[in-house]
Every structure is written in C-alpha cells, then in structure tokens.
C-alpha cells in the first residue's frame, strides 16, 4: 500500500500544475515530440523540459530519445491508478449522498 500511496502522491503533485495537466491532455491525443508539446505554451524549451521531467518522475509520462528528437507518451497505468483512486472516493460519497437522500425522504414523510 505504501508504494501505491507514493505513486499517487507523485502523480497528484505533478497534476497540480496547470501546464503539466495541459501536457497530459495533449499526450492523451497521442505521442508528441517535445517541440510539438511546446507549441501552445509560452515557455522556453528548458522550462517545458522541466515540466516533462516532473511528469516522467511521477510515472505519468514516458519519453524516448531517437537522435535529436525526444518523443513523449502517456503512461496509462499511472493514469489508471489515479482514476481508480478518484472513482473509489466518488463512489463512497455517492453512497453517503444516497443514504442522506433516503433519510431526508423519511423525515419529510413523517412530517
């Protein structure tokens, strides 16, 4: 469980930044070179590479260098882990809200 928690911590920490979330969104469309990733951002290439590095360290993104071109891809396993954690907590809250709704309906019928 501890390793799972550390991976989630890194993933959510990486996703806390809007630029990194935008990079992940772009990579969900398919693999992109770093220069393709940099197009919509007003960032110097070294700054963008720092964001990519954080995403790689979190496990959300993988990159491969072929000659002078670094191509980035999304790492679906890390996204599935974050998605699973979020869905688990959404389900818990939905159950609580369902119970609250039933309770309110009972109280309303009594009055």
| pLDDT band for position 77 (cuts 50, 70, 90) | confident
Q: pLDDT at position 32, please? A: 96
Q: Are 48 and 41 in contact (CB under 8 A)?
A: yes
Domain positions in the chain are 2-110
Its pTM stands at: 0.74
pLDDT band of 6, cuts 50, 70, 90: low
CATH 3.40.50.10420 fits 2-110, yes or no: no
Burial class of 74 by CB neighbour count within 10 A (0 to 12, 13 to 18, 19+): buried
pLDDT at 54: 97
The answer on pLDDT for 1 being more than 50 is: no
- According to DSSP, residue 70 is labeled E
């Amino acid at each position: 469980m501890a390793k799972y928690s550390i991976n989630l911590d890194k993933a959510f920490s990486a996703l806390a930044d809007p630029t990194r979330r935008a990079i992940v969104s772009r990579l969900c469309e398919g693999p992109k070179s770093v220069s393709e990733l940099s197009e919509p951002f007003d960032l110097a290439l070294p700054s963008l590479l720092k964001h990519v590095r954080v995403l790689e360290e979190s496990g959300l993104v993988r990159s491969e260098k072929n000659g002078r071109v670094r191509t980035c891809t999304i790492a679906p396993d890390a996204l599935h882990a974050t998605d699973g954690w979020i869905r688990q907590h959404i389900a818990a809250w939905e159950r609580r809200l369902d119970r609250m709704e039933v309770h309110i309906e009972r109280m309303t019928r009594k009055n």
